[in-house]
Amino acid sequence: MKMGIIGLGRVAELHVHALKQISPEIFAGGWNRSSSRAQTFCSRFGGVAYASIDDLLADKEVDAVLVATSTASHFEFAKRALEAGKHVLLEKPLCERSSEIRELAEIASANSRVCMPSHNYIYAETMRRLHAHIENGRLGKIVNFWAIYNKRHDSSIGAPDLTMRELMIHHAYCMLYFLGRPTHVYATGTSVHFEDPSAHDQLMVTAEYADGKIANLWGSFSADDRSREPWSCYFKIIGMEGSGVVPWDVTKLGEPELPFWDDATYLDSFLQVQTYFLNECLGKGRQPLSTLDDAYDAAVILDAARQSLVEKRRIEILYQ
């Protein structure tokens, strides 16, 4: 099996490192808007630097495509890949509009191909085991859920919606994985670090469930947690008969090129998402742990959170 990559940026590097651990032969090559970037990338990792997307999609040896470009182009490239008969692993956030996610699901079904969100956090083994304990009822009735992230990023990257779009999407799909759909959200945010004062660098989203559960989603690009047991990336579930916690900052690896890139659990999650996509979804025909339906729900939840930020009130989530 061979995989090509559309968009050869930093995230593509993490995926290629993961692919190389599965098999040195899987990475077929890739395309990038900058041909010099594509040549440099493929000289480092092997594979063909395709001159165009059409060339990549016409390569019959390529079975699947990872789309790792900017969000604005995800829908176009994923659609073209599916219609060319390729399976697709699509980086998050999947699309700019939730309706595009629904359309991709229809296209994937019509072409009998898998389109899997790269919701990598939930593929970590510790997250999957905690999910299994919930499903088996060992924690009893779930009362509340916490997803917490604190990692200082460069203040110059600040832009409106950046933290919601790039960070809170992880919180949303993890919440759906563990608890399912909430009914209402309330969101608040502030800017204490970004140079752009209109850009939130920390956000809190509280989600309510019909049976009384509450999910608390905290995301911050403003500061590191330097305490003894840091909440750099931290998930906790409390039930009536048991509780579980998954901290991600357990094993650190050298100096990070970017914030969080020294975290072994984070890096390993790319290996685990690729392994599941290739072996379980494509090899055995199993459904992803987080589907396009889940991606649609996550997009709708974040849209409701955005509305709450503007209107400063509790918002009912309207799924369609």
Q: Do 9 and 96 belong to one domain? A: yes
Pair (112, 126) in one structural domain: no
**Residue among 291, 319, 262, 203 at smallest CA distance from 14:** 262
pLDDT digits (tens, 9 = 90+) for 268-306: 999 999 999 999 999 999 999 999 999 999 999 999 999
Asked which of 117, 152, 186 is the last residue of a domain, the reply is 117
**pLDDT tens-place string over residues 183-238:** 999 999 999 999 999 999 999 999 999 999 999 999 999 999 999 999 999 999 99
Same domain for 138 and 39?
A: no
What domain range is 8 assigned to?
A: 3-117
The whole-angstrom separation of Cα 120 and Cα 266 is 8
Q: How far is CA 173 from CA 14, 93, 124, in A?
A: 20, 10, 14
Angle between helix 71-83 and 98-110 (nearest 10): 10
The sign of the torsion formed by the CA atoms of 181, 314, 202, 134 equals negative
If asked whether residues 65 and 203 sit together in one domain, one would say: no
pTM of the model: 0.96
**What's the total number of domains in the chain?**
2
What letter would DSSP give residue 47?
Answer: S
One domain, residues 64 and 51? yes
Other Cβ atoms within 10 Å of 187 Cβ, number: 26
Given a cut of 90, whether residue 114 has pLDDT beyond it is yes
